[in-house]
Amino acid sequence: MIELLAGQRVAVVSGAGMSTDSGIPDYRGPDSPPRNPMTYQQFVGDDEFRRHYWARNHVGWRHMDAARPNSGHRALAELERRRNVSGIITQNVDMLHTKAGSRRVIDLHGVYARVRCLGCERLVSRVALAQRLDRENPGFTESVAPADGVEIAPDADAVITSTAHFRMVDCEHCGGVLKPDIVYFGESVPKPRVADAFALVDESDALLVLGSSLTVMSGLRFVRRAAKAGTPVVIVNRGSTRGDPFAAVTSHAGCSETLAALLSSLPPRE
């Protein structure tokens, strides 16, 4: 792996396995429980689904906001400063690459910290929305956490069940439906974002996949793109992936320890 990546401009695709060492669970890791994330169609089409989601997110986003970059995130940021890494395409919404200091980060599926109005397209911060929801739901977080415990899913969704009494709010400007600025299952990644990601892959000499099973096409397409162009692909993931047939090297290892080894072994690019 080190021989393959040495001296190259490496594009990175990161998945949920990148953030497990920061306390954020993954979707499909060997020890992950079955998950049934809400779809875009459910969110926009059913008030009860939407209320249930916002109640869970109102608890879960705070845990994601409190998460801190792990040694793998910090190693990638340093590799970018050394010009070994050309940029990161992340499937994660946790913003930990940015918090670690990485500069060229394409948040493929959006970020947890913004909320979009589906009517007027205005963006507001999750902090500002939390303040409104707190006023409408005083003591909600404290009331559900002791009863249900708090398990956090990778999309900032807390696994709680007592949500019938939660009150939602709408856009302050147009009264439209508010949605986290996150790409849901059944929703398409914005085309300009995909184009930026393809451009990063095309200009790089190698592609390194970290902590993604590549089960969904949103990540697998970059592996296919690189392989079709003859760009070597390296995959690091605890378990097999859909991209393994396209890879020059696969490693069933953790991201943090792998990146620590790369950081100590790869000299900076000239």
DSSP string, 47-79: HHHHHHHHHHHHHHHHHHHH----HHHHHHHHH
Catalytic residues, by residue number, are: 109
Task: Retrieve residue 108's tokens.
Answer: 């493929």
Q: Which of 222, 235, 226, 236 is nearest to 206 (CA)?
A: 226
- The 10s digit of each residue's pLDDT in 137-146 is 998 877 775 4
CA distances 171 to 3, 40, 43, 119, 177, Å, are: 52, 18, 16, 8, 6
pLDDT band at 59 (very low <50, low <70, confident <90, very high): confident
- Better-predicted residue by pLDDT, 159 or 217: 217
- In this model, does residue 161 exceed pLDDT 50? yes
What is the CB-side half-sphere exposure of residue 134 using CA atoms within 13 A?
Answer: 9
Alpha carbon distance 187, 42 (integer Å): 11
**What's the predicted TM-score (pTM) here?**
0.89
Q: Is 221 helix (H, G, I), strand (E, B) or coil?
A: helix
Alpha carbon distance 38, 60 (integer Å): 14
- Can you give the pLDDT at residue 130? 95
